Amino acid sequence: MSREMAYYYDQPSHTFSEYLLVPGYSSAECVPANVSLKTPLVKFKQGETPALSLNTPLVSAIMQSVSNDTMAIALAREGGVSFIYCSQPIERQAEMVRRVKSYKAGFVITDSAVHADNTLADILALKEKTGHSTVAVTEDGTSTGKLIGIITSRDYRVSRMDRGTKVSSFMTPLDRIIYANDGTSLSEANDIIWEHKINVLPIVDDQQRLVSFVFRKDYDVHKANVHELLDSSKRYLVGAGVNTRDYEQRIPALVEAGVDVLCIDSSEGFTEWQKRTLAFVREQYGDRVKIGAGNVVDRDGFRFLADAGADFVKVGIGGGAICITREAKGIGRGQATAVIEVAQARDEYFEETGIYIPICSDGGIVHDYHITLALAMGSDFCMLGRYFARFDESPSNKVVVNGNYMKEYWGEGSARARNWQRYDSGGDARLSFEEGVDSYVPYAGSLRDNLAISLSKVKSAMCNCGSLTIPHLQQNARIALVSSVSIVEGGAHDVLVRDQQVSAISS
């Protein structure tokens, strides 16, 4: 009696680092300033405009250590979207969504506040944790309490003051502060700042409770936010993750809070559980609520989720920096190979149905040029975790490790997160074993500064390929699989790098 054998793929799967873009002809118009990175976020019919698009082809991962309301505001300001993590109580996640949707650009809701009885040591510790040099002093020590003063770096000198000195003795009291009432417009607030030559303007309500701050330094920043992602009411766009267990309660709460787009958070999307979740959304909301699904790594997985009603499909299993799914279970596929096959399936689906379903490359991005490769291979946008975890705006703590500033970064499948819903296979409500690690990543500063550099590289590479848009890049890019020796050749080699030599001598 004959027995069927397991299916074996003819070719090995590959990662982004195994490919290079081959340059094409660049016209005089092909300069980075002319490149558009606009890309669809959700599915649309041929000839129609997507209901939601991104101005920057990046979204932040559905992770505790990456995406909260602070990250969502910062990324929307730059043209991308954050998917606020779902491994938390429903109401807390919904409240994060509400904070993003109620945020007024230029009005900063602070998380740095102290009581008058706190000390200089507390101020220094808070500054170390948040990076904020302006601290509110309130009656109850909370960021929404009655304002009684503020502290900036001008109010103290660490070298000349005892760290036990109470805040009340060196803060700038309210009677010496210029402030404005809630309801003041951003234009009016900036006029007050310039008229009185101050750096920060507190905004308070009718009971003198702190509402927000407006900073002088933000004026030029907000003027420069040409790519910010706004809804029809001029509010920032925000996404949120959902799981396949409590979606019947979580999704209505998020929709009520004003979420713009949802995404099923799962390590593996080719499942009955995702089909049920998508069916619930379509039955309850029709096409009004947008929801992505995944993750998948092949044609069959894409087709399954497309037929189930996904608005976009995430691609990638086991390629994340903190993900050990491949190591723990032997499940996954090289990210480049997965993206290439799913992109082909997406195009085939479009030809058959006239419906274009965007795909998101999730994981495997180590270097900035990997973003360009992912886009060239067919991704409409990329989801990044480690990349965004390094910035001031991520929710994790900044710590010192071996003398270097680092940010904490942990996987949703780690014991720390214990997000068992992400790995739900219909069994017990618990995390049986880890599929993620708890780690640190080098602290990198602000999102805005770092993202500008990364996007400059992407735009420059696109110009080298003769492309001014992502669709053109996908249609015309020439991509070469390279040998291991070519990869070595691509970096600095056969020289002694000056910075490393100086460092070695000084140490």
Phi and psi at 215, nearest 5°, equal: -110, 140
CA distance 216 to 425: 51
Q: What is the DSSP string of 207-271?
A: T-BEEEEEETTHHHHHHT-TT--B-TTSPBP-EEEE-SSSHHHHHHHHHHHT-SEEEE--S---S
- Report which of 107, 113, 100 is spatially closest to residue 218, judged by C-alpha positions: 107
- Report which of 55, 103, 106 is spatially closest to residue 78, judged by C-alpha positions: 55
CA distance 468 to 149: 51
**Neighbouring C-beta atoms of residue 343, cutoff 10 Å:** 22
Where does 298-403 show beta strands of DSSP type E?
Answer: 313-315, 355-356, 359-362, 381-384, 398-401
**Neighbouring C-beta atoms of residue 495, cutoff 10 Å:** 6
Residue 477's alpha-carbon distances to 17, 26, 38, 378, in angstroms, are 16, 12, 18, 10
Q: Of the listed 86, 99, 263, 323, which one is catalytic?
A: 323
For residue 204, give the 3-state DSSP assignment: strand
Q: Of the listed 250, 386, 422, 463, which one is catalytic?
A: 422
CB 240 within 8 A of CB 90: no
Instruction: Decide if 382 is catalytic.
Output: no
Q: What is the DSSP string of 68-130?
A: SHHHHHHHHHTT-EEEE--SS-HHHHHHHHHHHHH--TT-B----EE-TT-BHHHHHHHHHHH
Instruction: Decide if 422 is catalytic.
Output: yes
Task: For residue 164, give both structure tokens.
Answer: 């036990």
Partners of 58 in the beta sheet? 382
Q: Which residues are catalytic?
A: 323, 422
